[in-house]
Amino acid sequence: MILQNSDNKITNSDKISAHLSALAQKLNISAVILVNSAGQIISSYTSSSWNFNTLSIAVLSSSTYAAANEMAKLISERGNFLTVLHEGTNYNILTSAVSSSYFLVVVFPKTTTLGLVRIFTKKTVENLYPVLQAENSNVRQQQNELDEHFQNLLSDELDRVFNGL
Amino acid sequence: MFINQALNELHLKIVYYGPGLSGKTENLNYIHKKIDPALKSDLMMLKTREDRTIFFDFIQLEVGRINGKKPKFNLYTVPGQVNYDLTRRICLNGVDGIVYVADSQIDRLKADLDTLEDLEKNLLAYGKTLENFPWVLQYNKRDLPSAAPVDLLNSKLNIYNVPYFESTAITGNGVFSTLKEVIKLTVSMVHERLKEEERAGV
């Protein structure tokens, strides 16, 4: 299912959210987090029982995934590792590359079958790839809004927040 | 730089780089201690038993909305020890701006120079150069009697004439002025780069 805005326009963000929630709801998954290579959260879906720090998991996943890919280079792998799996006693974390700049972090309980998570995560990754490609060109247009006026307002706001520190 | 359209957030990644024990973690510690709790995440520190950074430290700061956008600043440090070269490179993935924290002590000048060279090499791995990248210099530990004159440090380290700040991170002197400048410089340079790319039809 693809979500729509009130004006019936489907944005790329809507499409991404829909793909993440579809994956989470298909299986018993605690959190699905789409992260870029800088460790920034693009979008996330968390179950109602989720009470962990999503930002910290995104930042750590980004770094451990990057570290795994440096190891791939050291053993002459062609390209990056496609997935990285952390197995725990209560939860597993599966990290899968969407592209060179994005990856998907799936946190799920041990009671959820790993094989199914792998299959459906792979499908979600395939669905996300074209959406992220389209999203990249839109973001470039928005970045052009960082004009001098914006920069002056930002400077004033930093002065306000950092004042006296 | 990343703009989350759904949440209208602007994300910047700033990395504090420099030789071991130059005061990178101390910068983040002071920022974490002083900033309004409503505007910061937890301070994440990945350390060895000996209290040295093994991977990175991280904190996220935010300020009020500007033209509808909420700026969020993701601040990272790198491990300064020589052996952690690959780890430093990993931390530079997706970096938007850099604070180079130099140790002002005269006997650490060689370490400052070596790590600056290491930074240049690691940036190149991402197709970036110090000459065309937003970064600032922070001469830390100015309170120590063995601190070298700023003119000397500038002549050796400030090869691209970037903004520089004197600091004593442990007491907070110079910490926020450095942070403010690197944020301003980063946003300004990203904007210029995008304008140039637009003109060139990239």
Six-digit token string for B190:
């990203």
Mean pLDDT of chain A: 90
A102-109/A31-36 β-pairing: antiparallel
Mean pLDDT of A111-123: 97
Distance from CA of B196 to the nearest CA of A (A): 11
Q: How far apart are CA B4 and CA A135, in angstroms?
A: 10
pLDDT at A3: 36
**Secondary structure (3-state) at A1:** coil
| pLDDT, average across residues A77-94 | 95
CATH class of B2-180+188-200: alpha beta
Mean pLDDT score of chain B, rounded to an integer?
A: 95
Per-residue confidence (pLDDT) for residue B113, from 0 to 100: 98
The per-residue pLDDT for B46 is 92
Q: What's the pLDDT tens digit per position in B55-72?
A: 999 999 999 999 899 999
Encoded tokens for B41: 């995440």
User: Which residue has better confidence, A94 or A165?
Assistant: A94
Which pLDDT does position A134 carry in this prediction? 81
Residue among B94, B184, B194 minimizing CB distance to A143: B194
Q: pLDDT tens-digit profile of A63-78?
A: 999 999 999 999 999 8
CA distance B17 to B47: 16
pLDDT score at B197: 79
φ, ψ at B191 (rounded to 5°): -60, -45
Burial of A7 (0-12, 13-18, 19+ CB in 10 A): exposed
- Contact (CB<8Å) A38/B94: yes
pLDDT in tens, A33-71: 999 999 999 999 999 999 999 999 999 999 999 999 999
The predicted model gives B77-90 an average pLDDT of 92
**Longest alpha-carbon distance in chain B:** 53
* Predicted pLDDT at A164: 87
- Chain A neighbors of B188, CB-CB under 8 A: 151
Q: What is the pLDDT of residues B41-59, one digit of tens each?
A: 999 999 988 889 999 999 9
| Phi, psi dihedral angles at B192 (to 5 degrees) | -60, -40
Q: Quote the domain boundaries for residue A94.
A: 12-129
Which one is predicted more confidently, A4 or B105? B105
pLDDT exceeds cutoff 70 at A142? no
Amino acid making up residue A130: P
Q: In this model, does residue A143 exceed pLDDT 70? A: no
Angle at which helices B175-200 and A148-162 cross, to 10°: 170
Structure tokens at B86: 């690959």
**pLDDT at residue A141 in the model:** 65
Nearest CA among A64, A28, A50 for reference residue B55: A64
Are the C-beta atoms of residues A32 and B6 closer than 8 Å to each other?
A: no
Report pLDDT for B196. 83
CATH code, A91: 3.30.450.30
List C-alpha distances in Å: A61 to A38, A104, A123: 10, 9, 20
pLDDT for residue B99: 98
Rounded Cα distance between B200 and B58, Å, is 36
Q: Closest Cα to residue B141, out of B90, B195, B107, B105?
A: B105
In a domain, A86, yes or no: yes
Give the position of tokens 């490609």.
Answer: A133
> Beta strand B70-77 with B9-17: parallel, antiparallel or unpaired?
parallel
Tokens of A5: 């805005």
B2-23 pLDDT tens trace: 888 788 899 999 999 999 999 9
Q: Provide the pLDDT for residue A1.
A: 34
Helix, strand, coil fractions of chain B, as percent rounded to 5:
40, 30, 30
The more confidently predicted of residues A101 and B174 is B174
The DSSP element (H or E) to which B72 belongs, if any, is: strand B70-77
Q: Which residues of A touch B43 (CB under 8 A)?
A: none
Chain A window 86-125: which residues touch B at a Cβ cutoff of 8 Å?
Answer: none
Indicate if the pLDDT at residue B178 is higher than 90: yes
Determine whether the interchain pair B2/A43 forms a contact, defined as Cβ–Cβ distance below 8 Å: no
Q: How far, in Å, CA of A88 to CA of A100, rounded?
A: 27
Mean pLDDT to the nearest integer, A128-150: 79
The reported pLDDT for the residue numbered A9 is: 58
Q: How far apart, in Å, are the Cα atoms of A15 and each of A9, A124, A125, B153?
A: 11, 11, 13, 52
Measure CB to CB from residue B3 to each of A66, A139, A153 and give the nearest one: A139
Residue A140 pLDDT grade (very low, low, confident, very high; cuts 50, 70, 90) = low
Q: How many domains does chain A have?
A: 1
- pLDDT confidence tier of residue A139, bands split at 50, 70 and 90: low
Contact criterion met (CB below 8 Å) for B170 and B133: no
Residue B61 tokens, joined: 């700061």
